[in-house]
Amino acid sequence: MDIIQKLLEIEALLKRQHAFNKEILTLDEAANYLCLSKSALYKITSRKEIPFYNPGGKKIYFRRIDLENWVLESKSMSIDEIGEEIDSYLSRTQKSKL
């Protein structure tokens, strides 16, 4: 790995670390924070899938806590959790039939 590549990696790490300390993030910072491309983040905002702020209709801003909550809401259930949901549903429906 050459020095320039190493410096670029260090720069990316520093930018990401800087985003951890800010409460309000720009689109670039939010994309970096989420490890997404700017294009992917634009698509997510255009579909209104993630909370964002657009004062004056120009730049897009994000609250870091909103980004963290959005990531945590996107959780996929494990097989055990799915099994528990099924068991719970079946026990509720069987009780209502009795």
Q: Which CATH number characterizes residue 72's domain?
A: 1.10.1660
Range of the domain at 55: 3-97
Q: What is the pLDDT of residues 54-92, one digit of tens each?
A: 998 889 999 999 999 999 987 777 888 888 888 888 888
In order of 44, 81, 82, 91, the CA distances from 95 in angstroms are 42, 21, 20, 6
Q: What is the pLDDT of residues 2-61, one digit of tens each?
A: 999 988 888 888 877 776 788 999 999 999 889 899 999 999 999 999 999 999 888 999
Read off the pTM: 0.62
The total number of structural domains in the chain stands at: 1
pLDDT at 19: 65
Distance CA 56, CA 58 (A): 6
